[in-house]
């Protein structure tokens, strides 16, 4: 099986709600931050949002699928992103971005802990 096919098979092995979360909410909302470049703190927000995703592309290719290790880049980059977004809450997009990444980080804390304890499986 080729690398891309293995990644797709891994994605399809995830629960439906996780696939919807990733494909419809998590990735699009974080990638939409590039539209903020040029706004106050927009470059920083976009850099942190995209940096939380980008290392996972490498992990997907190397591991040939989804694993709990993907949580670490979210924890490293999206935690400071929430700090940057905090004063902007009330405005629609920053509030949505904050909520989406806060929910993700709740799952990521669990996934990172399980990975550290030895759960290194690829879906």
Token code pair at residue 110:
């669990």
pLDDT in tens, 45-77: 999 999 999 999 999 999 999 999 999 999 999
91: helix, strand or coil? strand
67: β partners: 122
| pLDDT at position 1 | 79
Q: Please state whether the predicted TM-score (pTM) of the whole model is above 0.75.
A: yes
39: β partners: 37
| pLDDT at position 123 | 86
Token code pair at residue 7:
């990644």
């Amino acid at each position: 099986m080729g690398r891309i096919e293995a990644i797709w098979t891994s994605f399809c092995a995830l629960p439906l709600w996780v696939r919807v979360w990733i494909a419809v909410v998590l990735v699009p909302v974080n990638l939409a931050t590039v539209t903020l470049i040029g706004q106050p703190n927009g470059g920083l927000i976009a850099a942190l949002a995209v940096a939380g995703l980008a290392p996972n592309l490498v992990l997907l290719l190397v591991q040939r699928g989804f694993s709990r290790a993907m949580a670490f880049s979210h924890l490293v980059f999206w935690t400071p992103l929430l700090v940057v977004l905090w004063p902007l809450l009330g405005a629609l997009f920053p509030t949505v971005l904050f909520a989406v990444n806060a929910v993700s980080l709740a799952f990521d804390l669990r996934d990172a802990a399980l990975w550290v304890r030895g759960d290194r499986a690829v879906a």
